[in-house]
Amino acid sequence: MFISLEGIDGSGKSTQARLLADHIRDTGREVVLTREPGGSPGAEEIRRLLVEGASERWSAETELLLFTAARRDHLERTIRPALARGAVVVSDRFADSSRVYQGTARADLRGQVDRLHALMIGVEPDLTLVIDADPETALGRGKARNAGEDRFENMGLPFQSRLRAGFLALAAEAPDRVRVIDGRGGVDDVAARVRAAVDAVAPAPRA
Ligand code: TYD
**CATH code at position 106:** 3.40.50.300
Torsion angle, CA of 17/19/24/28, rounded to 10 degrees? 130
**Core vs surface per residue 99-123: b (16+ CB within 10 A) or e:** bbbbbbbbbebeebbeebbeeebee
Region of 10 (left: φ > 0; alpha: ψ -120 to 50; beta: rest) is: left
The reply to whether 99 falls in a domain is yes
> How far away, in angstroms, is 207 Cα from ligand 1 center?
37
CA dihedral over 52, 53, 54, 58, signed as positive or negative: negative
204 pLDDT band, cuts 50/70/90, is low
Q: Please, are residues 78 and 40 in contact by the beta-carbon 8 Å criterion?
A: yes
Distance 7 CA to ligand 1 centre (A): 9
Q: Is residue 206 part of a domain?
A: no
Residues of the chain with pLDDT > 70, as a percent, come to 97
Work out the percent of the chain whose per-residue pLDDT is above 90. Answer: 84
Query: In this structure, is residue 88 part of a structural domain?
Result: yes
- From residue 99, alpha-carbon distances to 48, 141, 188, 190 in Å are 20, 23, 29, 24
Q: Let me know if residue 185 belongs to a domain.
A: yes
Q: Is residue 60 part of a domain?
A: yes
Query: Confidence class of residue 154 from pLDDT cuts 50, 70 and 90?
Result: confident
Q: Which domain holds residue 122?
A: 2-201
Instruction: For residue 75, tell me if it sits in a domain.
Output: yes
Write down the pTM of the prediction. Answer: 0.94
Q: Which residue has the higher pLDDT, 114 or 150?
A: 114
pLDDT classification of 153: cutoffs 50, 70, 90:
confident
pLDDT 10s digits, 90-146: 999 999 999 999 999 988 999 999 999 999 999 999 999 999 999 999 988 877 776
The answer, yes or no, to whether residue 206 has pLDDT greater than 70, is: no
Give the model's pLDDT for residue 152. 81
Residue 207 lies in a domain: no
| Total domains in the fold of the chain | 1
- Say if 25 falls within a structural domain: yes
Which residues sit with their C-beta closer than 6 Å to ligand 1? Answer: 9, 14, 36-37, 50-51, 67, 92-93, 97-98, 101-102, 142, 146, 152
**What was the pLDDT predicted at 55?**
85
Distance 84 CA to ligand 1 centre (A): 26
